Amino acid sequence: MAEERSLPPMLRRMWGREPVPRRGPRPRLDLATITAAAIEIADAEGLAGVSMAAVASRVGVATTALYRYVDSKEDLLTCMADGVAPEPPDPAGLPWRDYLALWTRAQRDILLRHTWLLSITQYAPPLGPRRLLWLDRALAALAGTGLDDGEKMNVASTLTGYALTDAALARAAESGFPELDQSGVEGADDYGELLAEMLDPATYPALSAAMRGGVMRGAAGWTDDADFAFGLGLLLDGVEQLIARRAAS
């Protein structure tokens, strides 16, 4: 309570802890509406379409009115990042490994469904109510494992990070290479062929051999879900080993 006073205004708004104004006209909007509108634009036109003007016109106010609800555009982006997160999956008595696999995959799916997230996510400790809900569920899933809280947090962080980078990779492969406008490379196959031709075996011995060997053949490269499962398996195996070690001592 005493502490709530010192909360950054942004957080207060994200958590709906704003003091209700007692005078003046009722606000025509709230942060949630604005955030939702911004998300819709981003989904439809990409992040480039999300300008203050565009968001404002979508909710039917003047551009500058938004600044009553948000201190800056960055704040709005932060809200969007929290706002897109749906309810986390239900533990429903799953063993920790199954649940965390589900949980991580769900995070990846969110990122792939809203790829603009990849452009604004400076991966940072969550502060929004929805993201924190996800974190809570991961900790809960690890409840019976004998890990301490710090280890649980670390596991959750690592898995979230994995979802993030894997989604980024998958996206880069799916939508052709964004950095190479139109020309040339369009998928993992092209990537492989390109490198196979381009790399000097003297300075890139292992890599050029792999490429010439056709590692990237058949889209087994990145788009595939199997690759996600692969890395996830590595991580969960590591966690499992840790749990076993803790139990043994």
Partner DNA sequence: ACGTACTGTGTATGGCGTTCATAGTTTTGA
Partner DNA sequence: TCAAAACTATGAACGCCATACACAGTACGT
Contact 150, 203 (CB under 8 A): no
Q: Which CB sits closer to a copy of itself, 61 or 187?
A: 187
Residue 177 binds DNA (CB under 7 A): no
State which of residues 32, 33, 58, 67 lies at the interface with DNA (CB under 7 A): 67
Residue 30 interacting partner from a copy of itself, DNA, none (CB closer than 5 to 8 Å by kind): none
Residue 52 binds DNA (CB under 7 A): yes
Residue 64 binds DNA (CB under 7 A): yes
Q: Which CB sits closer to DNA, 23 or 93?
A: 23
CB atoms within 10 A of CB 237: 11
Residue 51 interacting partner from a copy of itself, DNA, none (CB closer than 5 to 8 Å by kind): DNA
- Separation CA 47–CA 42 (nearest Å): 5
User: Can you give the C-alpha Rg of the chain in angstroms?
Assistant: 22
Residue 27 binds DNA (CB under 7 A): yes
Residue 217 binds DNA (CB under 7 A): no
- The helix-helix angle for 52-59 and 73-83 (nearest 10°) equals 60
Q: Which CB sits closer to a copy of itself, 60 or 109?
A: 109
Q: Which CB sits closer to DNA, 51 or 157?
A: 51
Residue 180 binds DNA (CB under 7 A): no
Contact 138, 152 (CB under 8 A): yes
- Separation CA 125–CA 133 (nearest Å): 13
**DSSP designation for 207:** H
Q: Which CB sits closer to a copy of itself, 25 or 150?
A: 150
- Separation CA 196–CA 71 (nearest Å): 49
State which of residues 9, 17, 46, 68 lies at the interface with DNA (CB under 7 A): 68
**Cα diameter, the chain:** 75
Q: What's the half-sphere exposure (Cβ side, CA atoms, 13 Å) at 84?
A: 27
State which of residues 7, 16, 28, 144 lies at the interface with DNA (CB under 7 A): 28
Tell me which residues touch DNA (CB under 7 A): 21-29, 50-54, 61-65, 67-68, 72-74
